[in-house]
Amino acid sequence: MAHALEVPIDEFGNLALKSKKPESISSTCTVFAESEVISLFARGASKEDIASGIHKSIARRVAGMAKRIGVEPLLVFCGGVAKNPAVKKYLEEEFGFEIVIPELPQLTGAIGAALIAQEHNSN
């Protein structure tokens, strides 16, 4: 989606946080959502408002799935997406509580895998 809006991925979240009026993105399919984004842009919607709508849509969908399995505080958000401030903000709004992000969230999965491999190799 950042590519569709011609925004560097590392600036995408901060762009979304500058929104004054987030656009609604209803498509759950990436291809249809991209068409929706292009249509909104063609109608004059700002990149900030479209980016915010994209992030809110993702947060709403993720939160809906997480609530079905039961999520509560203390929730730790790991992986590279955790570095996106808009995803964090909108997930917190959906959950109604603060989410914890480790110092290097993009490495937590690899570190966990390495620890498990070390444990299996030491037995």
Q: What is the pTM of this model?
A: 0.84
Mean pLDDT in residue range 9-38: 84
In tens, the pLDDT along 32-66 reads: 777 887 788 888 889 999 999 999 999 999 999 99
Calpha distance 123→117 (Å, rounded): 10
Q: Is the dihedral of CA 48, 50, 55, 56 positive or negative?
A: positive
> Which helix or strand (DSSP H or E) is residue 81 part of?
none
Q: What is the pLDDT of residue 77?
A: 95
Fold classification of 9-122 (topology level): Nucleotidyltransferase; domain 5 (3.30.420)
Q: Which residues of 21-45 are buried (b: 16+ CB within 10 A; e: fewer)?
A: ebbebeeeeeeebbebbeebbeeeb
Q: Quick one: pLDDT band at residue 97, thresholds 50, 70, 90?
A: very high
Q: What is the pLDDT of residue 107?
A: 94
Domain boundaries, the chain: 9-122
